[in-house]
Each structure stands twice: as C-alpha cells, then as structure tokens.
Amino acid sequence: MPRRRASRLLQKTLRSLLPLARPRSRAAPRGRAAKTAPRSAPRPASTGVWVGGTHLGPTGGRAYEVYLPAGVRRRSRVPVVVLLHGCGQTPAEFAQATRFAAAADRNGFLLVLPHQQAHHQPQRCWHWYDAAHQRRGAGEPAAIAGIIRQVAAEQTRWRVDPARIYVAGLSAGGAMALTVGAAYPDLVAAVGVHSAPAYRSSVRPTQALSAMAARTEVPPPLPGAAAIPPTIVVQGRADTVVRPGNGDRIADQWLAHRAAAGDTVGRSRAAGGRTTDGRRYDVLRWYGPRGRKVFEYWLVDDLGHAWSGGRPKGSYSDPDGPRATTLMWSFFRLHALDARAARQELAAGA
C-alpha cells in the first residue's frame, strides 16, 4: 500500500477511535472517567508561572510550554519532567487532567510540554508508529531532545539539574516517551509510560492499530543498543484502545534491552491491592543490584484508556486511583544520571 494512502487510512481510523477512547461516565461499569475537556481549555490554574517557547532545529520546529512552580529559587538546579500528550489532546488539557502542575508545586520540579499540532499530524498524535521517528538524531525524538537542551540551557529564569530529566506520556505520548528514552538514555534518567504500545512495535502507519492491539512482533534490541532507562508503566485492564497486553510487552522489551546491554536486573516482586475508592490493581517491580527499583508495572482493574487518578472531567482522565502522577514522580525521584556525563551530553547537542 502506498505510504500516503496508508497514512490517510490510519488517520481515518484514529478519528473513529477518538470518540471511543473518551472515558465513559462514572455510571459505566468499566473505564469510569469523565468526558473530554473542551478544546479551548486554558493553561491549568496553578500557583506558578507558565512560559511559552519555540524550538527550531534541523528535524523541525516545535512550540512548547514550561511550568515554573512557585517558590523555586532561580539559582537552584531543579528536576524536569517532559510531558507528551496523547492523540486528540492539547498540552494544556493533558497538564490539567494529570494534575502534574500541582505535583510540580509540591515537589519543586519544572514541567516542559511540547506541542504536537494538527499540521504535524491531523489528530495531534506523535509519530511513535513510524520508523522515521524512532531513532536518535531523527524526527520527533530529536525535536523533543532539542527542546530539552534548549530548556536546560536557560540560566536566568530557572536552572535545570541535567542529571534529573524525565519523560512521561499517555497513549501516543507514552509511546513517544519510551522512544525518546530508548534513543537518548544519556539524556533521560527515567521514563513514565501510560497506556501505550511498545517501542518499535510498529514501524509504519499500517502497523499502528495492530501494535495498539498487541498483535505485532516486538523486535529484539538493535546491535549495540543501550539499555532503556528505568521505566514505570501504568496500564488499564479495561482499555479497548491500547490493549492491556501492551504493558506485558513493554516489560519484556525493557528486560531484553537490559540483558543485551549487560546490565544486571535482580529480583522481582509482585503485589496487589485496592485503592481507597475500591479499585483493585496489581504491581510488579524489578530491582537493580543495589536494591533500587528500576522497572515498575501497574495493571489497574476497570481502567479504560484514561489517566489513572486524574482530575474529574479532565481530558482522557479517570478520577479513580491509583494516581499515576504520584506513582511516576515517586519513581522518577529515585533515579539520576551521572551529573558530569549528563552535562556533557546536554552541551554536545548530538
């Protein structure tokens, strides 16, 4: 099938999926999240300051937003969480739905939200499914890395801790977050993936829907590939858009990359529980040789294609827990790159 025709077919199918992906009302037995927020949603109400920016690079330009929490001293080096929205979302809607601005206020980290606009992709999806956007120095991963470098170069309004840069996303944004982590493990200290397919589980538009259904092959690590950074995955068992099997596929893929890179992963532990609002979940954790969590996988009952523990009436958000934002930050804060190597990587700009 010609590439342009395949792309049109994917876009048509994604348009049909978007209404199905909108979380159902609380009266529904499964996937009980609020309706999608209006398209004109403003920047989330917060106590900090929102700053707009634009990155122009060899792989294309992107607008982005930076959230600077109140109380952060300009001379203090702070962590960064890059948030990648899903299809049919704006960065403002995603930040509002996930409560990440409030988490940044409490914990003193910077938020960076790149824009994927309709002229980049008609449904504002990141091109996680296309081989042209799956490697270092190319396509959208390079553009996002360029944004990170630009934000980290700021010395007047804020100062970034180069060893503590994290990337997280939902759905297409979650898949691109995993891609950025795999492509730039010397730039990203940890990754958060919510309701997304595995890295390189699709390499062309015609495979995207099969990958979302967990029906494609997940390729082995490329020769010489580095280990994927520490990763936390949150997946709903009631997700009919990105099927639950994708969480297992990401876990297997992450372990395969670690083994290929010669990195030791120690014991794993499994646990289950129930949130205060009655929702059951299972969690698997893998630990490194020093006993630190390096991979965490949450599988949540009755959660559809929506951010777990998000804001009521948010975009692709389910207010019932566990709160994915809290889980991700608790995981991220355990991980940091070597500070000197991270500074050199930011300065290199490769």
Give the CA distances from residue 350 to residues 82, 199, 337, in Å, rounded to whole numbers and listed in that order.
Answer: 19, 21, 17
What is the full per-residue pLDDT of the chain (350 aa) written as tens digits? 444 554 555 555 555 445 444 544 333 333 333 333 334 445 666 689 999 999 998 887 899 999 999 888 888 999 999 999 999 999 999 999 999 999 999 999 999 999 999 999 999 999 999 999 999 999 999 999 999 999 999 999 999 999 999 999 999 999 999 999 999 999 999 999 999 999 999 999 999 999 999 999 999 998 999 999 999 999 999 999 999 999 999 999 999 999 999 998 887 999 999 999 999 999 999 999 888 999 999 999 999 999 999 999 999 999 999 999 999 999 999 999 999 999 989 888 75
The class level of CATH for 48-348 reads alpha beta
Residue spans of beta strands (DSSP E) within the chain: 49-57, 60-68, 77-84, 110-114, 159-170, 190-194, 231-236, 268-274, 280-287, 293-300, 307-308, 317-318
- How far apart CA 170 and CA 175 sit, in angstroms, is 8
Cβ–Cβ under 8 Å, residues 252 and 265: no
Domain residue ranges in the chain: 48-348
The secondary structure of 144-196 as a DSSP string is: HHHHHHHHHH--SS-EEEEEEEEEEEETHHHHHHHHHHHH-TTT-SEEEEES-
Residue 138, Cβ density class (10 Å: 0-12 exposed, 13-18 middle, ≥19 buried): middle
- How far apart CA 5 and CA 239 sit, in angstroms, is 28
Q: Is 327 helix (H, G, I), strand (E, B) or coil?
A: helix
How confident is the model at residue 7, as a pLDDT? 53
Q: Which residues lie closer than 8 Å to 181 by C-beta, 6 or more apart?
A: 167, 188, 190, 191, 228, 229, 231
Q: Is the pTM of this model over 0.85?
A: yes
Which position has the token pair 């979650």?
A: 174
- Rounded (5°) CA angle 144-217-12: 65
- How far apart CA 76 and CA 17 sit, in angstroms, is 44
Cα 21 to chain centroid, rounded: 17
- How far apart CA 201 and CA 130 sit, in angstroms, is 10
What are the structure tokens assigned to 31, written together? 């996937």
